[in-house]
Structure 1
Amino acid sequence: MIEERYDEERFEFGEAVRVTRNVRNDGTYPGREIGDLLIRRGSVGHVIEVGTFLQDQVIYTVHFLDHGKMIGCRAEELISADAPWNPSRFEFRDKVRCNRDLPTADGVIASGTEGEVLKILREREPLLYHVRFPGKTMQVPEIVLDPADPANFREPEE
């Protein structure tokens, strides 16, 4: 029995795609330090190759012509360039703090509680996030979140 993968052949050669999260060097981009920002979320490029990594991950080589870079991206990092794009202040794995008390079915998550962004729901207005707070994951609007470390937080470019 052949098992189908959800991301196989998701994007076609030449298709315009948008990267949904900042892409940093994981050590595979030559001439840059590990952790260096390679491309900002929201940037549009074109698929020039589809390959695999470790035989189980589909990797799309995307040419970001405006930035002069070709970067390998996973399917979950890409959407069609024609898909609605709702920019977000935070991204996956960002540390955030709630700026007001958040009522829950079994209590309250107090203002100032730190959490981590797990997912961004861009299809909605207002933009929503899945945030993991201690002991609870909640879906919350962007307006109730602030950076956990404001001194080191960089606001996204408009």
Structure 2
Amino acid sequence: MFRIHALPSAQFQPLFTLSDGELAARDIRRVVADEPGSFPCRVSLRDAGPGERLLLLPFEHHPVPTPYRASGAIFVRENASEAMPAVDEVPEQLRRRLLSVRAYGDGMMRIADVVDGTELSALVERFFARADVDTLHVHFARYGCYACRVTRA
């Protein structure tokens, strides 16, 4: 059994009140989705529809004191509500993409693989069968961007 965790909306919503200049000083860009299925929000775990406003920003998703410390660009939809998938639920945003899954224990990567999103549950179970794995990070394989964190339920 596992649980997928979205990023908390409260962490990002104040950024939407900043000017473009203030955002640029933080390496953040305001963008508008211009095609369906191309702007995956890490808070709602759903893709923005055409015309929706988002922020594209750097995010440290693995803040650990190991060589695997990592950050990358993410999208966050304006006014996004934090997704809270049920135990063993894989959101549609993940099911329809090619994913890279990285398994960590004590901040160190233990194993990784690439999987079609429809097969994510099976890979999660296989990785969590290992005693040296405590958390998983899912990335969108094509762009390599962080998508979400997975823990044992």
Same fold (TM over 0.5): no
TM-score of the pair, normalised by structure 2: 0.27
Identify the structure with the greater strand proportion: 1
Larger radius of gyration: 1
TM-score of the pair, normalised by structure 1: 0.27
Identify the structure with the greater helix proportion: 2
